[in-house]
Chain A
Amino acid sequence: MVQSQLRGAKRIFFDRIFERSYWTWRKHPAIIVPSMLGSATTVIEQSIFTTGAIAFVSILADKGTLSAFLTQISSGGLTPSLLLNLIFNSSYTPLLIPIIGIAVVAYFLTAILGGGFVYSSEYGIYLDAWNNDKATIGSIVRHGSVRWRAMAWTLFLSNLITWAPFVITYSVFIASALNSASIAGLVGLIASSILLDFALIASLMIAVFTIYSYPAVIIDNVSGLRAIKNSFGAASHNFGATLSYSIVRVLLLILLAVVVIPLTSAIGLPLSSFIAAILSLFLTPVLHSTKTMIYYYSKPNVSEMPFELSDPIWQDIYRRLPRAAWMKIKAGLVEMGRFTIGPRNLPFHLLSVLAFGLGVFLGDYVSISGVKSYLLSTGYVSGRGNPNVIFPQVLPPVLGADIFLNNWLVSIATGLAGIGFGAPSFATILFNGFILGILVPLSTLTMLLAAILPHGVIEIPSLILAGSMGIKLGYAALRRLFGDNTAQNSASETLSSSSDDYLSRTLRQTVYVVVGLAPLFLIAGLIEADVTPIIMRMFGWTF
């Protein structure tokens, strides 16, 4: 009997690929970086709206109409009809419409173009790590800058095709609900409400088949409809592995969000930040790598994944992983020290401090010009903390850990969001300063310092440092952008490769610096949860 016949058809084993994805993740920690960049993209998107909001309230404060605006919002609750009324209110329309319009366009552009860069670097580095046993920050930049257009186009088309049934039906439902007084509206409402569930199921089913669109862009070097077509082919030929992947992915999210977080919150164990960290740094890269390799092994010209046995994952997670993580944090601390004292980084530090200072100034101005009077009118008493915020029913060390993880994830995203030419990092630091600035007029300076300083003395400089790193990354991205143009114009590869190299080195430095910030945020988080409330009470705060 012929040997190949004896072995039968090629099979794809989900577990085998998943296990190897885990070990690839362990061996090449750089594959986490695109996932971190994904979180950074979310920060960029948020920063668009926060910048718009800061601009809006600052202008209202300047006009002296902020207090009236806030009263108007709080009087009727944030209902859709109130929001529509506000948008089309002649006092706010000239200001709101352009801000919302610009923000929405910028949001979608960022989501698609940023997603194009992030996904192409992400799926590219998985392939490098598996097939070449090599995953460097340089390859992230290379894949991102080479395939971002193709990926962005695929991302747009894939989401359009996947979610079109649901979005169209939902739009009809909303439009009908707004016109339910008419016969046509009522008929539309009934029909669309019946179809809504089917549309959602249809979208979810399409999502299962378009699951390999992004890996297809990298593996097959295609884009758009061709990538989606290849994804449909691979998913239907390997439906078992595809379904296993989809169920594992969805079930993990549901179990964590619907079961673990509510149950643990009820007994004072806030784990949402911990779970967010697990998802961002571990599960997303491992699952996406698994998906990529399922697609890779589904190719007819790729032979079946060979049988190999590795050590159990579980033992590695609790025996060796903590030590490996600590080694990275130590390396991060060293890099952070270098970055902080490096004289060439002074302009970035100054820009970050400027963003924070500007934010405090704007926040203070907005607070004096309307927010403070509005809060006092709602019954706020100066020097009284919100017991639900300061002293929620949680176990203190766990609260500290939760605060630490939340702040650390924010700083990671702030640093890496700088790849969007620095502006998102600047905006995020500005926003944090803005929030602090709003608090300044609400109590005496001594009380404010008692509430901020104990943990803020570590937390604020750490955040500013993350912002500074992000601004430097933005500078490197700008150099890459203009370096690339120069290279195209003059046909010189040198500038391009040197700016590529600078961007890679800066991205690597950013990753190490934000990782090195972890111990600082841990200390700050523990102080904030366990020490700051005591000091606040000592200085007259009541809860």
Chain B
Amino acid sequence: MRIGAGVDHISTLVQLRLKTDVRVGSRWILLAIASYILWILFAISYYYRVSLPLLTVGQTLGLFGTLAFAASTGLSFLVYTLINRQNKHATREQEIVWQVLREIQSRTTPENLGVLLPLSATEQDFSNLLEQTHEHSAFLWSLLVLVPYVGWVFLMVALYLLTDASNAHERIERMLFEDLGRTLAAGGSRQPAPNSRLPVPRNGTSYLLASAFTIGIVALSWLYVMMIGEAAHFRYHSTLESELLLAFPESTAGGGRVA
């Protein structure tokens, strides 16, 4: 590999933030609410044999069912986007840290224990991050959510997994970036500022129980929390990754701010 190629790769990965750390439009939640209401209307129409004016019961069921399924595809897309966003965010971060560690290793002489010691700790953190980051299939969960009625149970499970993964990610990532900062500082580079605002971990179990007891209503607000809740985390990444690039002065590209 030519000298500086690794740094270029880091720059590219930082720029990819605009593709991975995407903002999910809050209006998508309306489709989730519509899906919930329409499937309830479908059940009522089926159970009580109620029909809309000018329509037979069969046509009414068909109409409610088709609209409910259409709304569910919006919910499904939302779930896909959330899981996919988390997967890609985590993978991009792993790639960046991996490249940064390789770059530091290549620039550090075996005698430079001042750098090698914090580097070893950072590598340990990175190893923990890899070990505890589990990618969930966005395609699979988005399809499971599409199943009428049962999909709500899958939605709760998907949100639980998402919350759990998000909490674990925040926790491990914090340690990793602190050690990485120390490593960079030991090498004479500027240390990226640590995250001053500690995020409060979301309690997935409480959300899950509340959602189950309210037959899925709380799951809607939980979904909304997961949609908008990552914004602060992405803002932190935006700052941190830009500062990380400053540690490698030969980098050509700057890190774009998250949208």
| Contact status A307-B102, CB under 8 Å | no
- In the complex the two chains form, is A3's CB within 8 Å of B102's CB? yes
Most A CB atoms within 10 A — which of B63, B123, B143?
B143
Closest-CB distance, A122 to chain B (whole angstroms): 21
Q: Which of chain B's residues has its CB closest to A12's CB?
A: B135
A14, B139: Cβ atoms closer than 8 Å = yes
A259–B148 Cα gap in the complex (Å)? 8
Q: Is B66 interfacial (CB-CB < 8 Å)?
A: yes
Interface residues of chain A: helix, strand, loop or mixed (majority): helix
Minimal beta-carbon separation of B169 from chain A (angstroms): 16
User: How many angstroms from the CA of A1 to the CA of B92 in the assembled complex?
Assistant: 21
Contact, CB under 8 Å: B66 / A264: yes
CB distance B62 to A265 under 8 Å? Answer: yes
SS class, residues of chain B in contact with chain A:
helix
State A255–B146 Cα separation when bound (angstroms): 8
Chain A interface extent, by class: 20 to 34
| Contact of A14 with B137 at beta-carbon distance under 8 Å, contacts A1-B120, A266-B58 already known | yes
Chain A residues whose CB sits within 8 angstroms of the CB of B63 once the complex forms: 266-267
Residues on A with C-beta less than 8 A from B66 are 263-264, 266-267, 269
Query: How many whole Å from A189's CB to the nearest CB in chain B?
Result: 33
Residue of A whose beta carbon sits closest to that of B127: A6
Is there contact, CB below 8 Å, between A7 and B140? no
Q: Is the CB of B140 within 8 A of A247?
A: yes
Which listed residue, A3, A265, A266, A307, touches B91 by the CB 8 Å rule? Answer: A307
- Chain B CB within 10 Å — which of A255, A259, A267, A269 has the most? A267
- Point out the residue from A6, A13, A260 that lies within 8 Å of B126, measured CB to CB: A6
- Measured between beta carbons, the chain B residues less than 8 angstroms from A212 are none
Q: Is B59 an interface residue (CB 8 A)?
A: yes
Interface residues on B, range: 35 or more
B59 touches A244 (CB 8 A): no
In the bound complex, residues from chain A placing their C-beta under 8 Å from that of B77 are 314
Which residues of B are found within 8 Å of A266, using beta-carbon distances?
58-59, 61-63, 65-66
A6→B61 contact, CB < 8 A: no
Q: Is the CB of B238 closer than 8 A to any CB of chain A?
A: no
**Contact (A15, B87) CB under 8 Å given A251-B144, A264-B66, A309-B20:** yes
Known: A266-B62, A309-B16. A251 touches B147 (CB 8 A): yes
A309 to B16, CA, bound (A): 8
Q: Decide: A248 and B59 in contact? CB cutoff 8 A.
A: no
A109 on the B face (CB < 8 A): no
Instruction: State which residues 112-147 of B face A: CB under 8 Å.
Output: 120, 123, 126-127, 130-131, 135, 137-140, 143-144, 146-147
The reply to whether A263 and B137 contact each other, CB–CB distance below 8 Å, is: no
A18 interface residue per 8 A CB criterion: yes
Counting chain B CB atoms within 10 Å of each CB, which of A8, A259, A266 scores highest? A266
* Closest CB pairs A-B (n = 4): A266-B62, A263-B65, A267-B62, A14-B137
What would 17 more interface pairs be, CB under 8 Å, given A6-B127, A14-B139?
A1-B120, A6-B98, A8-B131, A11-B135, A15-B87, A15-B139, A251-B144, A252-B143, A255-B143, A259-B65, A263-B65, A265-B62, A266-B62, A269-B66, A307-B91, A309-B20, A309-B88
